[in-house]
Amino acid sequence: MKTVIITGVTGQDGSHMVDFLLKNTDYNIIGTVRRLSVPNHQNIAHIKDPRFKLAHMDIGDPQSVNNTVQEYKPDYFINFAANSFVGTSWEMPVVHMQSNCMGVLYQLEAIRKFAPKCKYYNAGSSEEFGDVAYVPQDENHPLRPRSPYGASKASARQIVKVWRESYGLYAVQGWLFNHEGTRRGQEFVTRKITKGVADIVKSLGSNQIPRPIELGNLSAKRDWSDAEDFVEGVWLMLNQNEPKDYVLSSNETHTVKEFVELAFAAAEIEGFWLGESGTVGEVFVHKQFKYPLVVVNPKFFRPAEVDILLGDSSKARKEIGWSPKTSFYRLVKKMVSNDLENSLDKSK
Ligand code: GDD
């Protein structure tokens, strides 16, 4: 029986990867977790399969990484642990570099020493493309990060490449464009919007004036997909004859504004935009009651922005047979429905 180690297992991608592997393989899965005073295990609380076990490991502690790899001698090691929120990476650049880049180095060294046949995946990002040179971005696009987060992922990519080429390890790092879902953290813009919409529906239902959702740059364009589709792409990347890095993306781009419009429409709330587009005076207003539903707060602007991300995943589609199944529209609808259900549950 093969063994897969997954880090970041309590997060969105890690937990979906566990679900995917339990459903599609007969492998044993070790999910590594840091000790926390208050555990954050809600994304894996539903997993009862005895093939899934938790182990303590901290990606910042090379000794603990060595011990874990030495003990389990995994066949696969999937690194989804990271400081993944771009916005805070300017506030804590060192910790982003340590976890997102040095963490990868510790893992590759442990694999090289104790499990050299292990297949390794590190979570790469379209943020590595940053200040994009062309649209759409494919595997040949240069690395031009715009944030400490993007820089940490671009650096990790070089480490993965060097360890692959120097030691013959099967080590890959995909470029994953934005991927979302019902397990998404609430600070990311998609979940912030869908959760905000659900709160607004609740307020309107109890005849209260709703609190508007406060957002930053409404014009940013992102290529959003469903995280559940992406874990399958990661698994395909790990199971090729030769290790190769691929872009995973929907090949569509939408503004934050479009996400807002679709999310309110999914909750059957009609609204319209007022104020000059691209300014802090822009506001999305309830059609009937004229309440502000979305306002701009400059606090959420970033020191440097990635204006447009649009992926070209045609290589992954052709060479590893991957394709996303969930449309942008279905993704927004699924996230809104989930947050509406959660907010109804809480009000019972
Ligand atoms: N978070 C957030 N909050 N973003 C906002 C807001 C807001 O209030 N208002 C506008 N935005 C804009 C951001 O400026 C950015 O342009 C866009 O919405 C998306 O922001 P996030 O959802 O925070 O995601 P991200 O694109 O920065 O990063 C995500 O995708 C990367 C792949 O491209 C993360 O999942 C990264 O970990 C991932 O690598």
87-91, 148-152, 257-261, 340-344, range with the lowest pLDDT: 340-344
Nearest alpha-carbon partner for 263 in 337, 343, 185, 181: 337
**111-132: average pLDDT:** 98
Please report, rounded to a whole number, the percentage of residues in the chain having pLDDT higher than 90. Answer: 96
Q: Which atom of ligand 1 is nearest to the CA of 187?
A: 1
User: Does residue 344 have a pLDDT over 80?
Assistant: no
Q: Please compute the mean of the pLDDT values over residues 267-287 and round it to a whole number.
A: 97
Q: In the predicted model, is pLDDT for residue 175 greater than 70?
A: yes
Is 127 annotated in the active site? Answer: yes
* pLDDT tens digits along 309-326: 999 999 999 999 999 999
- The pLDDT of residue 39: 82
Rounded to the nearest angstrom, the distance between the alpha carbon of 260 and the centre of ligand 1 is 14
How do strand 247-248 and strand 76-79 relate by DSSP bridges?
unpaired
pLDDT of residue 348: 58
Lowest-pLDDT choice from 36-45, 101-110, 290-299: 36-45
Higher pLDDT, 343 or 269: 269
pLDDT (mean) for 42-47:
97
Contact 87, 38 (CB under 8 A): no
Which residues 6+ apart lie within 8 Å of 67 measured at CB? 57
For the chain, what is the mean pLDDT?
A: 97
Looking from the CA of residue 126, the nearest atom of ligand 1 is 33
Q: Is the CB of 188 under 6 A from ligand 1?
A: yes
Average pLDDT in the 253-282 region? 97
Share of the chain above pLDDT 70, in %: 99
179 strand-pairing partners: 225
pTM of the model: 0.97
On the question of a cis peptide bond just before residue 136, with omega within 30 degrees of 0, the verdict is yes
∠ Cα 21 322 243 (to 5°): 75
* Phi (first) and psi of residue 3, to 5 degrees: -120, 135
Catalytic residue among 99, 127, 147, 246: 127
What pLDDT score does 38 carry?
Answer: 87
Name the closest-CA residue to atom 21, ligand 1. 188
**Ramachandran region of residue 207, left (φ > 0), alpha (ψ -120 to 50) or beta?**
left
Q: How far apart are CA 15 and CA 8, in angstroms?
A: 8
**Residue nearest atom 25 of ligand 1, based on CA coordinates:** 86
Please, which pLDDT band fits residue 35 given cuts at 50, 70 and 90? confident
Per-residue confidence band for 347, with pLDDT thresholds at 50, 70 and 90:
low
Residue 121 clears pLDDT 80, i.e. is over it: yes
Mean pLDDT confidence for 105-111: 98
Look at residue 37 and tell me whether its pLDDT is greater than 90.
no
The stretch 57-86 carries a mean pLDDT of 98
What average pLDDT does this structure show over 206-224?
98
pLDDT at position 75 is 99
Q: Are 83 and 149 in contact (CB under 8 A)?
A: yes
Is ligand 1 within 6 A of the CB of residue 215?
Answer: yes
User: What is the reported pLDDT for 94?
Assistant: 98
